[in-house]
Chains A and B, each alone.
Chain A
């Protein structure tokens, strides 16, 4: 048996896992943990119910499932608190991982993430930050340059961390950095929201798919590629909740993200066994194929079980592309120069000296 990306993908698609020895599990489990996929795969393939599962595997899988379960409980609790706290805002939309969990379907099952993302109106950003701060969500201590960078160019404010519970909150006012020049008109996106059973606002199936696609295919650093492409796959898995093709295409065209949608649909069908609705296949046939870009994404969106040069090359190329897309050249250069200068200065006079200087100037 060859334990490579294709083999693992087959296990995911078929929900079947072969019987492995303890040594084979010891090779596989750390790799799945790195992909943040151990719990998700275990729940999908019902690994804990497997007879003769070696103790080693059982313990690690149980650990992962307990962590996922706790995260599910915690996100519901945090979301309820946030909902109360931000009740006066015109909207507070839960995005990405937190939204998947709050919908309590296959998408959220075992899905791990490190922070809760919310989208609030830009006009109320300061008020939101103050309200959150009063209730224990404090920004981490970051470099003033980074703070300014966030506030001036980014689509979110610096992350807030709850002082007791440690929960990290990313407050967004846009879905993509405005500096990229591609930030869409949010009213179009906000026509596409729905309420979960417990009354939390999340994006509609179409907007959710598009947002995940934008997030993945405009990003300069893809850490958990396999997890993220499976998000997209799972959104189509249950026909009753799947994005409606016409609405999805219209939304992508109106917001200007047809390229990202095409990349997403192409990668998800090439990497998984998902069969797209006819209408989307027809549309995809008319889109430019972008073979190099698709190849790069395919490398980083597969589970990384072995070290492969293709993955390193593709990640490097996508990092360059991501930065290039995000910022106009002049700002990118300024940013790079600053980071280099700070790195150099820190190396020469020490990081502590720079920090001391910063504190004096405050």
Chain B
């Protein structure tokens, strides 16, 4: 039987047709992923734990990563991303397929899920006390996320913080951490034993790699945490740690700038953000040394 399955896989690879879709349960969502791009399948198997590949949950979004059409099937091979049969992006080179799939998952959630307030932020928790790090791309958010996730904190999310409206509760959406350009080298120096995807070179964001978070984060992938602070990080080479406490108005505006769906949620989104800035300490930090940041975060959590 297994030889027949292998034969089928080989035939489908050669013909570049899709195999059976895999189901990936990433609480609180479940994706079905259909691809014949072997690089993508390999990276998926490498980065996500075995338990994530389960048929137990109902599929929320059907994702496909298909080969390019026409001549792009063979020359300058492309990858096309489809969600429920719709194609939101223009095709990318086939070698960028895995990054495209991860970005596509972000797109599917950010543009279609409105049960949570979604913030472009890393969220990490020490025990069940969470800190949210909202930041625009290029702030060093993911590098900070990576550092904390491998230093005793548990990762709830790297890209999208899922907040329960009108509360301080935050849900995990555990997925690999996305690193870019220079932070790739840095990560490999710090964490030679971590599990990495293959590098996608020369994407529109530069070189991109994904890193699987440690076991602790995956174990608690359904365990909510409570927000205790919001920190807007900004990496600045050579800088000593500078901490600025934001007032409520500043905090609200910064939060709104980093929210994916706050305006869509209307009153609910507004009220939820208001609750956060009224109840939580909010800081802006500039830093170069991540151990200084870690120490500061522990001080913030201890003070509450």
Residues of A with Cβ closer than 8 Å to B? 22-23, 25-26, 30-31, 33-34, 56, 59-60, 62-63, 66-67, 69-70, 73, 343-344, 346-348, 350-351
- Residues B67-87 near A (CB distance < 8 A): 70-72, 75-76, 84-86
B2 at the A/B interface (Cβ < 8 Å)?
no
Closest 10 CB pairs of A and B: A347-B75, A26-B58, A30-B84, A66-B114, A34-B85, A347-B71, A70-B264, A63-B114, A34-B84, A33-B84
B112 at the A/B interface (Cβ < 8 Å)?
yes
Chain B 23-64, CB-CB to A under 8 Å as 1, else 0, gives 000000000000000000000000000000000001111100
Residues of A within 8 A of B115 (CB): 59, 62-63
Complex CA distance for A134 and B39, rounded to whole angstroms: 45
Main SS at interface, chain A: helix
Nearest neighbor of B82 in chain A, beta-carbon distance: A34
Residues of B with Cβ closer than 8 Å to A? 58-62, 70-72, 75-76, 84-86, 112-115, 263-266
Which residue of A60, A70, A347, A350 contacts B60 across the interface (Cβ within 8 Å)?
Answer: A60
Cβ distance A351 to chain B, nearest Cβ, rounded Å: 7
Nearest neighbor of B68 in chain A, beta-carbon distance: A347
Nearest neighbor of A223 in chain B, beta-carbon distance: B86
Decide yes or no: A34 and B265 within 8 Å by CB, A23-B58, A63-B113, A347-B71 being known contacts. no
Residues of A within 8 A of B75 (CB): 347-348
Decide yes or no: A346 and B76 within 8 Å by CB, A59-B115, A67-B112 being known contacts. yes
- A344 close to B58 (CB less than 8 A): no
Complex CA distance for A258 and B59, rounded to whole angstroms: 46
Nearest neighbor of A22 in chain B, beta-carbon distance: B58
Complex CA distance for A63 and B28, rounded to whole angstroms: 15
Complex CA distance for A67 and B266, rounded to whole angstroms: 11
Decide yes or no: A347 and B264 within 8 Å by CB, A22-B58, A26-B59, A67-B114 being known contacts. no
Complex CA distance for A56 and B113, rounded to whole angstroms: 12
Which residue of B61, B70, B72, B265 contacts A30 across the interface (Cβ within 8 Å)?
Answer: B61
Which residue of B76, B85, B265 contacts A351 across the interface (Cβ within 8 Å)?
Answer: B76
Cβ distance A123 to chain B, nearest Cβ, rounded Å: 35
Residues of B within 8 A of A30 (CB): 59, 61-62, 84-85
Nearest neighbor of A57 in chain B, beta-carbon distance: B58
Cβ distance B259 to chain A, nearest Cβ, rounded Å: 14
Residues of A within 8 A of B265 (CB): 66
Residues of B within 8 A of A351 (CB): 76
- B59 close to A344 (CB less than 8 A): no
Which residue of A33, A67, A73, A343 contacts B70 across the interface (Cβ within 8 Å)?
Answer: A343
Complex CA distance for A31 and B59, rounded to whole angstroms: 12
Cβ distance A338 to chain B, nearest Cβ, rounded Å: 15
Nearest neighbor of B74 in chain A, beta-carbon distance: A347
Complex CA distance for A153 and B86, rounded to whole angstroms: 28
Complex CA distance for A213 and B85, rounded to whole angstroms: 25
Which residue of B72, B112, B113 contacts A347 across the interface (Cβ within 8 Å)?
Answer: B72
Cβ distance A335 to chain B, nearest Cβ, rounded Å: 16
- B58 close to A66 (CB less than 8 A): no
- A56 close to B76 (CB less than 8 A): no
Residues of B within 8 A of A346 (CB): 76
Nearest neighbor of B58 in chain A, beta-carbon distance: A26
Nearest neighbor of A64 in chain B, beta-carbon distance: B112
Q: Chain B CB within 10 Å — which of A22, A30, A34, A346 has the most?
A: A30
Complex CA distance for A22 and B58, rounded to whole angstroms: 8
- B72 close to A62 (CB less than 8 A): no
Complex CA distance for A351 and B72, rounded to whole angstroms: 11
Complex CA distance for A344 and B74, rounded to whole angstroms: 12
Given contact pairs A30-B59, A69-B266, a sample of 9 additional A-B residue pairs in the complex whose CB atoms are under 8 Å apart: A23-B58, A25-B58, A30-B61, A30-B84, A31-B84, A67-B114, A70-B266, A343-B70, A348-B75
Residues of A within 8 A of B59 (CB): 26, 30
Residues of A within 8 A of B62 (CB): 30
- A350 close to B71 (CB less than 8 A): no
Residues of A within 8 A of B114 (CB): 62-63, 66-67
- B71 close to A343 (CB less than 8 A): yes
Residues of B within 8 A of A60 (CB): 60
